[in-house]
Chain A
Amino acid sequence: MKFRTMLMAGVALASAAGFAASAHAADDKTVQMLHWWTSGGEAAALNVLKGDLAKEGFAWKDVPVAGGGGEGAMTALKAMVAAGNPPTASQILGYFAVDYAEAGKLGDITSLATKENWAKVVPTALQKFTTTNGKWDAVPVNIHSVNWVWINKAVLEKIGGTEPKTFDEFIALLDKAKAAGVIPLALGGQPWQEATMFDSVVASTGGIEFYKKAFVDLDESALKSDTMKKSFDNLAKLKAYTDPNFAGRDWNLATAMVIKGDALVQVMGDWAKGEFKAANKEAGKDFLCYRFPGTDGSVIYNTDMFAMFNVPADRKAAQLALADATMSISFQSAFNVVKGSVPARMDVPDTAFDICGKKGIADVKAANADGKFVGSMAQNYAQPPAVAGAYHDVVTKFFHGEIKTSDSAVTELVKAINAAK
């Protein structure tokens, strides 16, 4: 009976694993959290949340799936939801939250939101993603903005440059760096990075109203306009200032080039600040943060959210505790100091933040009041993923020379967006 014994052994092993983890009924005090914040700073910040919850008696069940902008995590999430076994909450971005909400997969935390008066303190634009038909089903952790440039101060001084205020001044500054033998622009040549930079270029070239018309309203005449063509031409100009090995580079390696002084500037969202912090660099002293030239006063945002899933009643208390802790002023401050972003609540004091953080907080407040607070197209905050994906395609093909002229770039953009709608 050799083979049967072996088979039995296999089955026994498998079911032993099953018995070991059959603690199903008593799991109301745990918070199961899917996220992709696995690296040093972010994980440390999330640990604050874990600690806050532990004080209230809730255990944290970590479900990290690292990689890119959470692609692996999103796949795992889809599988968990399809299996009818969603996590308590999941880190989520932009229109993905809307998709889950529309499919009826998210829970309802409106009671807590009303009690804590979140509608007053969270910018209205963000509530598009955190509420569905007036019901709160997600909480924002932070506000990032993508229209920043990060400059190595020593290199800037060496080449005798000053803060560029317009796109032309930016080009002049890059020329100066080139003449001095420094890599002017540190860039990671991956589709999402190129598209993220293009967000800023469009806002700088055509102004924020044009950006809204083109990307938020998807107005075809704006997408085809000469302004959009000029934006593509401006993007092409920037390419001349990269080093030859930029294709496929990760964004944080590009940031490292600026930190080390190999390169002058990186155009990147404020998560780049986390890298400077991790390398013990000080804002204002070692590195400078300016708005992308020509976009001062506007904020092109994206935000990390925790989507609250439709969990059984016995897990609801833990979920509410998680939402409450996430929205607490102390956590919003502590987390965002580390992450480089600004709090999603407008009533968090900026005392703990460095000068870039203080500027970020002030900018968000001002832009929100002036109607210049718009979602990033590249990051899925202006349009659903299908359209954003089409946008990535066109921008990266143009940037790498597959699309040769700005004329055909706008034609392709309109075509791709229409096919994705």
Chain B
Amino acid sequence: MTEITVAPLADVTMPRPRGSVRGRLQDALPKLVLAPSFAAILLFVYGFILWTFYLSFTNSKAFANDHLVGLSNYQKLWTWTFETDPPSGWYTAIINMGLFGGLYVVCCLALGLTLAILLDQKIRGEGFLRPIYLYPLALSFIVTGTAWKLFLDPGIGLEKAVHDLGWTSFSFDWVVNPRMMIYCVAIAGIWASSGFVMALFLAGLRGIDGEILKAAQIDGASGFMMYRRIIIPIMRPVFFSALIILTHLAIKSYDLVLSVTGKNPGGAAELPSTFMYSYTFTRNQMAVGSASAIIMLMAIAAIMVPYLYSELREKSQ
């Protein structure tokens, strides 16, 4: 596609028929078209957030109720945040979110970028390799989790297969070791999503203007320098899209955790999503579940809003 940058249209005064009903309708049309989507999001996202916010101040148990109890649910979570010995479920959830989320996002980006750069070296059989990296995203997280749980199970999976080959001292028992379980969830998650990130980066690489690279080459930039100084910075918008998609997947990875770890033994694989779900639906402490959802949203907002703000702002300049 031709790369043309022009001033945004709305900044230019448009010759439009004014005054008539038809004209005014024409003026309002774009907003009318956007309105249903925006209204739906206001109701189904922000309305629901408000509702959850309200519930977090009540003592709702199995069902929502109106009995306000002030900040006591937040106080509970606040105390749990610092309960490290033994770790409270909420503390584990926060630590795991950091570990899992960090590993998942960073490794997906790193692996995705590496694969994209490798594939971009005029590879024979690219059309054959690309779908191999891409297909895991086509599987649902439940299937992914189940497959990896079997695969990593020391009794029947990888460890046993290596033992059968003769290397009997080989040991890989992370999936049955509560302390290491969260890393197995991360491995399965990275396997599932890194191919998609690869596709994003590959597209980004292919979209770079050849002239820029040629100029850099003439200036004597080495291959590595070119990637570090020119290509990767140009792909900043790709990082933006990838980060948004990965973050939302990390936050919502509920099915994956439960299917890889097998119902969270030792409470060691708790994540905010599993915490929220179990308090709301299986422990019938809906108010605590709601409070945890609100804290989770505030944490996401604290990270994402400045990022969204700076990215969206720069675009318009």
Across-interface contacts of A209 in B (CB, < 8 A): none
Given A103-B62, A402-B266, A389 and B173 contact (CB-CB distance below 8 Å): no
Given A191-B263, A396-B267, A402-B267, A385 and B176 contact (CB-CB distance below 8 Å): no
Tell which of A32-40, A120-128, A215-223, A240-248 binds the partner: A240-248
Closest CB in chain B relative to A302 CB, distance in Å? 15
Q: How many residues of B contact A (CB 8 A)?
A: 31
> Is there a chain B Cβ closer than 8 Å to A60's Cβ?
no
Partner of B265, one of A82, A396, A419, A420: A396
Given A403-B86, A408-B86, A386 and B262 contact (CB-CB distance below 8 Å): no
Query: Are A245 and B178 closer than 8 Å at their CB atoms?
Result: no
Query: Are A247 and B62 closer than 8 Å at their CB atoms?
Result: no
Across-interface contacts of B63 in A (CB, < 8 A): 82, 99, 103
> Is there a chain A Cβ closer than 8 Å to B204's Cβ?
no
Query: Are B176 and A245 closer than 8 Å at their CB atoms?
Result: yes
Across-interface contacts of B153 in A (CB, < 8 A): 245
Tell which of A70-78, A319-327, A351-359 binds the partner: A70-78
Query: Are B62 and A397 closer than 8 Å at their CB atoms?
Result: no
Across-interface contacts of A384 in B (CB, < 8 A): 284
For A390-413 the 0/1 string (1 means CB < 8 A from B) is 000100110111111000100010
Across-interface contacts of B154 in A (CB, < 8 A): 244-245
For A185-219 the 0/1 string (1 means CB < 8 A from B) is 00011111010000000000000000000000000
Given A389-B278, A403-B86, A419-B76, A248 and B262 contact (CB-CB distance below 8 Å): yes
Query: Are B263 and A402 closer than 8 Å at their CB atoms?
Result: no
Closest CB in chain A relative to B99 CB, distance in Å? 16
- A-contacting residues, B250-305, CB 8 Å: 261-268, 278, 281-285
Closest CB in chain A relative to B95 CB, distance in Å? 12
Bound Cα distance from A401 to B178, whole angstroms: 9
> Is there a chain B Cβ closer than 8 Å to A165's Cβ?
no
The secondary-structure label for the interface of chain A is helix
Given A191-B263, A248-B176, A250-B262, A389 and B282 contact (CB-CB distance below 8 Å): yes
Given A103-B62, A103-B63, A412-B86, A189 and B265 contact (CB-CB distance below 8 Å): yes
For B128-155 the 0/1 string (1 means CB < 8 A from A) is 0000000000000000000001000111
Given A244-B176, A247-B178, A78 and B262 contact (CB-CB distance below 8 Å): no
Query: Are B176 and A247 closer than 8 Å at their CB atoms?
Result: yes
Chain A: which residue is nearest B153 at the CB level?
Answer: A245
> Is there a chain B Cβ closer than 8 Å to A249's Cβ?
yes
Chain A: which residue is nearest B184 at the CB level?
Answer: A248
Across-interface contacts of A243 in B (CB, < 8 A): 155
Closest CB in chain A relative to B176 CB, distance in Å? 4
Partner of A191, one of B87, B181, B264: B264
> Is there a chain B Cβ closer than 8 Å to A100's Cβ?
yes
For B75-98 the 0/1 string (1 means CB < 8 A from A) is 010000000001101000000000
For A86-119 the 0/1 string (1 means CB < 8 A from B) is 0000000001100110010000000000000000
Bound Cα distance from A246 to B262, whole angstroms: 11
> Is there a chain B Cβ closer than 8 Å to A68's Cβ?
yes
Bound Cα distance from A75 to B282, whole angstroms: 8
Query: Are A248 and B86 closer than 8 Å at their CB atoms?
Result: no
For A220-254 the 0/1 string (1 means CB < 8 A from B) is 00000000000000000000000111111110000
Which 4 A-B pairs give the minimum distances between C-beta atoms? Answer: A248-B262, A400-B266, A99-B62, A389-B283
Told that A244-B176, A247-B262 touch, could you supply 4 new A-B pairs with CB distance under 8 A? A71-B281, A248-B176, A396-B267, A419-B76
27 example contacts (A-B, Cβ-Cβ < 8 A) are as follows A74-B281, A75-B281, A82-B63, A96-B284, A99-B284, A100-B62, A103-B63, A189-B266, A191-B263, A191-B264, A243-B155, A244-B176, A245-B176, A247-B177, A247-B266, A248-B262, A249-B262, A386-B61, A388-B283, A389-B285, A393-B89, A396-B266, A397-B86, A400-B266, A400-B268, A402-B268, A419-B76
